Amino acid sequence: MSKFKAIRIVKEPAYAASYSEFDDSELMDGDVTVRISHSTVNYKDGLAITGKSPVVRRFPMIPGIDFAGVVETSDHADFKPGDAVVLTGWGVGETHLGGYAERARVKGDWLVPLPAGLSPAEAMAVGTAGFTAMLSVLALEKQGMTPDRGPVLVTGAAGGVGSVAISLLAKAGWTVIASTGRAEETAFLKDLGAKDVIDRAQLSAPGKPLGKERWAAAVDCVGSHTLANVLAQTSYEGAVAACGLAQGMDLPASVAPFILRGIALLGIDSVMKPKAMRLVAWERLARDLDRKKLAELSTTIGFDEVIETGKKILEGKVRGRVIVEIG
């Protein structure tokens, strides 16, 4: 059996992530084997690497919820050797061996073709974070939200989801307000397209059930009191796409925004999203995402830097998107 390098997470005698080797016999069931060229580091990957949240539910585990690469072998009708593919979600890196490896075996139904015009590195600059941002934008559009309604707020703006959301929304004509706790990133966020940058402290503490109407729509990556305050300050019949929990999983809000202003709260899941919707989202990303902006919000690291970067992303020391060169 051929061996390949990977990150191995073990639970005993203590939870730990380390660089290791696997061989093909350890790969899990699937009908497509992929030679991985690139991955990325998401907030969830940081949780998996550090064990600060029970993301990993099978041991040993190869973390990494995203990857891009080339099909080596396939028993799936949609894919053949040599096809360039992308995977995000589906429990990969959580319950199924993931993307921080030179090789993966997965179900072909989990894969999408690499979108035309995107390189594997650019696809991982998008990754789950960018895919989630696109799903949030699509959800707001489905709800009837348009730029003429007023500004849109993006919380957790310097993070992966937030930075891509700003770029997408600005290109679509929205006036974007960015909320961040990192004032030093103001120039970066304005370069992405934000018209205004506010301190997250305005939203992160317990607030009133209803506040002054400040934005027509929002993409919230934070949860908890922040999401409650975002809802309380959304304009009449506005909408908020909720896609993150950086502050917490709780929602200490009241029903006031919903029954007095008709606010819509749109839940965004990127893990189990059906393939048809994935194809729509990736097509829009390939078409709408400014490649220059994508490059500006991305940094590239080597495989040997993944574990340390996973720790840094939880400390708020990573901005934008991180591309991992695997092979």
Q: Is 153 in the same domain as 262? A: yes
Report how far residue 81's alpha carbon sits from residue 95's, in angstroms, rounded to the nearest whole number: 25
Tell whether 96 and 197 lie within a shared domain. Answer: no
Q: What is the CA radius of gyration of the chain?
A: 20
Q: Are strands 112-113 and 84-88 parallel, antiparallel or unpaired?
A: antiparallel
262 is a domain residue:
yes
Number of domains in the chain: 2
Q: Strand 176-180 vs strand 152-154: parallel, antiparallel, or unpaired?
A: parallel
Do residues 27 and 155 share a domain? no
pLDDT interval class at 327 (50, 70, 90): confident
Is position 73 within any domain?
Answer: yes
Phi-psi region of 253 (alpha: psi -120 to 50; beta: other; left: phi over 0): beta
- Determine the pLDDT at residue 306: 98
Distances from the Cα of 13 to the Cα of 16, 257, 270, 307, angstroms: 9, 48, 33, 19
For residues 69 and 166, state if they share a domain.
no
Asked whether residue 254 falls in the same domain as residue 190, the answer is yes
Determine, yes or no, domain membership for 65.
yes
CATH code of 224's domain: 3.40.50.720
Q: Do residues 304 and 207 share a domain?
A: no
Q: Do 63 and 17 form a contact (C-beta atoms < 8 A)?
A: yes
Please check whether residues 132 and 245 belong to one and the same domain: yes
* pLDDT over threshold 70, residue 317: yes
Question: Model confidence over 93-145: pLDDT tens digits?
Answer: 999 999 999 999 999 999 999 999 999 999 999 999 999 999 999 999 999 99
320-326 mean pLDDT: 96
Does pTM surpass 0.85?
yes
Residues 91 and 161 in one domain: no
On whether residue 247 sits in a domain, the answer given is yes
DSSP assignment of 105-153: EE-GGG-EEPPTT--HHHHHHHHHHHHHHHHHHHHHHHTT--GGG--EE
278 domain residue, yes or no: no
Pair 115, 85: CB distance under 8 Å = no
- Quick check: is 71 in a domain? yes
CATH number at residue 59: 3.90.180.10
Quick one: what percent of the chain has pLDDT higher than 70? 100
User: What pLDDT digit, counting tens, does each position of 32-73 carry?
Assistant: 999 999 999 999 999 999 999 999 999 999 999 999 999 999
Query: Has residue 316 got a pLDDT over 90?
Result: no
Is 251 contained in some domain? Answer: yes
Write the pLDDT tens digit of every residue in 209-231: 999 999 999 999 999 999 999 99
2, 17, 283 from 288: Cα distances, Å: 40, 37, 8
91 with 137, same domain: the answer is no
Q: What is the pLDDT of residue 1?
A: 55
Q: Which of 167, 160, 153 is nearest to 214 (CA)?
A: 153
Q: What is the distance of C-alpha 56 from the center of its chain?
A: 17
Domain boundary among 220, 246, 267: 267
What is the pLDDT averaged over residues 157-166?
Answer: 95
Helices 43-50 + 306-314 axis angle, to 10: 110
Provide the pLDDT for residue 3. Answer: 94
Separation of alpha carbons 298 and 257, rounded Å: 36
Let me know: does 21 contact 103? Beta carbons within 8 Å: no
Q: Do residue 133 and residue 102 come from a single domain?
A: no
* 45 and 153 both lie in a single domain: no
| End-to-end CA, the chain | 19
| Domain stop point among 217, 249, 267 | 267
Sign of CA pseudo-dihedral 76, 77, 79, 81: positive
- Report yes or no on 148 lying in a domain: yes
Q: pLDDT tens digit string along 252-297? A: 999 999 999 999 999 999 999 999 999 999 999 999 999 999 999 9
pLDDT of residue 322: 96
Q: Indicate if 310 and 244 belong to the same structural domain.
A: no
Residue span of the structural domain in which 242 resides: 128-267
Closest CA relative to residue 163, chosen from 280, 78, 324, 43: 43
CB within 8 A of 273, min separation 6: which ones? 89, 135, 281
